[in-house]
Amino acid sequence: MHIVIFGLGYVGFTAACCIASEGHSVTGIDVSEKKVRDILAGSAPIVEPGVGEMLQEGLAAGRITAATEIGSHLDTADLALVCVGTPSAPDGSHNMGFIAGVSRQIALALKQGPARERPLAVAYRSTIRPGSVEDLIRPIFSSVLGEDTERLAELVYNPEFLREGSAVKDYFAPPKIVVGTRDGRPSAVMEELNRNIAAPVFHVGYREAEFTKFVDNTWHAVKVAYANEIGRVCLNLGIEASKVHEIFKSDTKLNISAYYTRPGGAFGGSCLPKDVRALQFIGTDSGTAMPLVDSLLRSNEAHKHRLYEYAAEGLAPGAKVLLAGLAFKVATDDLRESPNVDLARKLLQAGYDLEIYDPAVDAGKLVGANLGYTYSQLPMIEKILVSRARAESTPYARVIAANTTVAGLDLPAGMPVRDLNAL
């Protein structure tokens, strides 16, 4: 294929070298005359293992060239990769000026170029906020190309996952490939580009693809911040942090795994809230600043309130509602700090006619701290717990599935169910 890459910075130049090494013809476009001259002279504009040799090989084979203007380079191109910068604006948002400028240039080149047998795939790799393709990029193309937009351009969002120092390795062995298209279906050109790369592939809509880098990079930042907060506590308490880390990372069932990372219910129960509070106290007592840990309970409270809003959204005042699942975990009767108890309390305070079905919970058998917590939050619990027969036969305005308890109910067809665990 003939591929034109816009922006020869870290991402764009690395991609140019790797793509050319696979036998494709690559033209790099960059506004910097010096950068273009250096590339044509065989000098890499970045320091990264492997790219210098790949550049030399690509130039010798006639597979790499570079220019400062689009000219006629898109006339024979199969794919345009947009890798221009999206630096931070003063308010923290991305400055989308380069994206807008390049998009318009590509659209104008397509309008002025020769007839095409198939649309030019224009794939964006720059990090952009969700909605950018639909709300900024596509309107730019449409304003220039009008009704010919779909015939001339296939817009794609394809985030990159390159790390400095291992960018070439990461290009050929990425953790995943994410391709965002208008309908979430595969792009033939992107399939060809990635044909030799073995990695999980996700074909999604634009917004899911656009959001991927934000989710990934912020999670990496969370991990680093959390590890360093724990490290500071260890330092202040004379604990060997390396041993704590060794123990922590050995648990690949829960700690280093996909567990607890699925958006859904808030955390609760007898362990997590209690131990987070205790760690907060340990941090304060040892003189350790732990802003990330200190934010966890506030974040959880915010999520519980948002789940209440989601559960009650659109319900008429006083509507009859069934909450399926009261305990923190299904098939248990531990109600201590269960987010579902908090949800039930808010529904009652809002005036809804609430009933609760949880076959594992018997109000008369609650004891100790479990009993005290439950009755302090839901003093009327014995009156609102209902049997399975009543839950299955009552015409509720909505069934709120707080956990998988709802799976044990044979509800009438058409009964509206709102699942809080499937955001």
Q: Do 291 and 333 fall within a single domain?
A: no
Identify the bridge partners of residue 146 per DSSP, sorted by sequence position: none
**Predicted local confidence at residue 423, as pLDDT:** 75
Q: Catalytic residue numbers?
A: 271
CA dist 187 and 202 (Å) reads 11
Q: Do 82 and 187 fall within a single domain?
A: yes
- Domain count of the fold of the chain: 3
**Predicted local confidence at residue 339, as pLDDT:** 96
CA dist 137 and 156 (Å) reads 10
CA dist 297 and 156 (Å) reads 39
Question: How would you write 18-83 as a 3-class SS string?
Answer: HHHHCCCEEEEECCCHHHHHHHHCCCCCCCCCCHHHHHHHHHHCCCEEEECCCCCHHHHCCEEEEC
CA dist 10 and 4 (Å) reads 16
**Predicted local confidence at residue 398, as pLDDT:** 98
CA dist 34 and 205 (Å) reads 38
Q: Do 118 and 222 fall within a single domain?
A: no
**Predicted local confidence at residue 79, as pLDDT:** 98
Q: Do 292 and 326 fall within a single domain?
A: no
pLDDT digits (tens, 9 = 90+) for 302-323: 999 999 999 999 999 999 999 9
290, HSE (Cβ side, Cα atoms, 13 Å): 26
CA dist 392 and 396 (Å) reads 9
Average pLDDT, the chain: 96
Last residue of a domain, one of 155, 175, 207: 207
Q: Do 333 and 411 fall within a single domain?
A: yes
Q: Do 57 and 169 fall within a single domain?
A: yes
CATH number at residue 317: 3.40.50.720
DSSP state of 364: G
Using the predicted structure, report yes or no on whether residue 89 has a pLDDT greater than 90.
no
User: In 10 A of CB 414, how many CB atoms?
Assistant: 5
pLDDT digits (tens, 9 = 90+) for 37-83: 999 999 999 999 999 999 999 999 999 999 999 999 999 999 999 99
Share of the chain above pLDDT 90, in %: 97
Residue ranges making up the domain that contains 226: 216-302
Average pLDDT over residues 376-405: 96
Q: Do 101 and 70 fall within a single domain?
A: yes
pLDDT tier at 25, thresholds 50, 70, 90: very high
Average pLDDT over residues 322-346: 95
Check residues 90 and 176 and name the one with the higher pLDDT.
176
DSSP state of 397: S
Q: Do 230 and 202 fall within a single domain?
A: no
Q: Do 270 and 129 fall within a single domain?
A: no
- Best CA proximity match to 4, nearest among 79, 111, 57: 79
Q: Do 122 and 250 fall within a single domain?
A: no
**Predicted local confidence at residue 421, as pLDDT:** 86
Burial class (CB in 10 A: 0-12, 13-18, 19+), 227: middle
pLDDT digits (tens, 9 = 90+) for 136-154: 999 999 999 999 999 999 9
**Predicted local confidence at residue 270, as pLDDT:** 85
Last residue of a domain, one of 302, 335, 367: 302
pTM above 0.75, yes or no: yes
pLDDT digits (tens, 9 = 90+) for 158-196: 999 999 999 999 999 999 999 999 999 999 999 999 999
Q: Do 385 and 249 fall within a single domain?
A: no
Task: Classify each residue of 75-113 as buried b or exposed e, where b means 16 or more C-beta atoms within 10 Å of its C-beta.
Answer: eebbbbbbbbbbeeeeeeebebebbbebbebbbebbeeb
pLDDT digits (tens, 9 = 90+) for 269-298: 889 999 999 999 999 999 999 999 999 999
Identify the bridge partners of residue 121 per DSSP, sorted by sequence position: 79, 154
**Predicted local confidence at residue 163, as pLDDT:** 93
Q: Do 296 and 317 fall within a single domain?
A: no
Share of the chain above pLDDT 70, in %: 100
Last residue of a domain, one of 186, 207, 228: 207
Q: Are 107 and 101 in contact (CB under 8 A)?
A: no
CA dist 54 and 44 (Å) reads 10
Please give the structure tokens belonging to residue 209. 């693809």
**Predicted local confidence at residue 358, as pLDDT:** 97
